[in-house]
Amino acid sequence: MDRIANAFAQARSEDRACFIPYVCACDPDFETSVSICQEMVDIGVDLLEIGVPFSDPLADGLTNQLAAQRALDSGSTHGKVFELVRRVRERGDVPIVLYTYYNLIFSQGIESYVQDAKAAGVDGLLTLDLPPEEAGELVESCRKHGLSNIFIIAPTTPHKRIPLIVESGSGFVYYVSREGVTGTRDQVVVGLQEAVDRIKEYSKLPIVVGFGISSQDHVREVSSVADGVVVGSAIVNCIPENIDDICLIPSAIGRKVRELMTGLH
C-alpha cells in the first residue's frame, strides 16, 4: 500500500491540499515526542514529517536547530527515532517521511538504513543535502524496499535541472518557497503559482510547499496553489513556550495544528 499516494488522493477527493506538520524526533524527549506525534495523528493530519536530530542541520533555522539540540541532549539515537516511528505507526496509517541529512544515512550503511526505516514504518526520505546527481545508490535501495525519495526544488533551481530532479524523485516534490533556511515568515513568497506551474510541466507528482509558512492565512494561500502545505517552526515553537511543564506540550501543539488546518478549507 502506498500511504503517501493514498493521502494525496484522499485530499484531492475532498478538494483540498494535504496538511503536513514537521516536528523533530525526540524533542524535548522521547515520550513527549511520541505523545506529540500521536496527538497530531488523532487530529487528522495527512502526513507527518519527522526530523532526524543532527548536530549540523544546515537547512534549518534557529527554531529547528534548537529542537535538534534538545533532542540530542535528551539522548536521541537512530534506534529511538525508528522506535518513535513504530509507536506512531501503531496509531494508524498516516504516511511518515523522515526529514534527514545524508551523513546520517551513509554512516549507518545505505542498505541497512533503508531496511530499518522500512521495517519501522517509514514511507519516505527527504534528504536535505543530497542532490539527485549523487543519490543513485540511495534511490536504488529505496525503490527496492518501497520507500519514496523526496527531492527539493528551490526558487534558485535552474529550469533545466527540474526534469532531472523530478525523474529521480517519488512520493511528492518538495518546493522550498524561499531562499534560506527554515523559520517563520511574515508573508508567503510571491510568484508561487508560477513556480508550481513550472514544476508541473515536468512532473505529475504532488507538489508540496514548505519553509516560512506559519499562519492560517499562509496555509490558505499556499493550499490554493499546491497539493500540500508543510508547517514546521510555528509548530515546533510550542515546545520551548511550554518547556517548564512538558505535559502541556502535546495539547499546545494540538491547538496550533487545529488552528493552522482551518486554513485548508
Q: Catalytic site residues?
A: 49, 60
Instruction: Report DSSP letters for 59-109, one per residue.
Output: T--HHHHHHHHHHHHTT--HHHHHHHHHHHHTT----EEEEE-HHHHHTT-
Cα(94)–Cα(254) distance, integer angstroms: 16
C-alpha cell at 40: 497530531
Residue type, 184: T
Please measure the distance between the N-terminal and C-terminal CA atoms of the chain and give it in whole angstroms.
28
C-alpha cell at 38: 500521536
How do strand 148-150 and strand 173-176 relate by DSSP bridges? unpaired
Q: How far is CA 159 from the centre of its chain?
A: 24
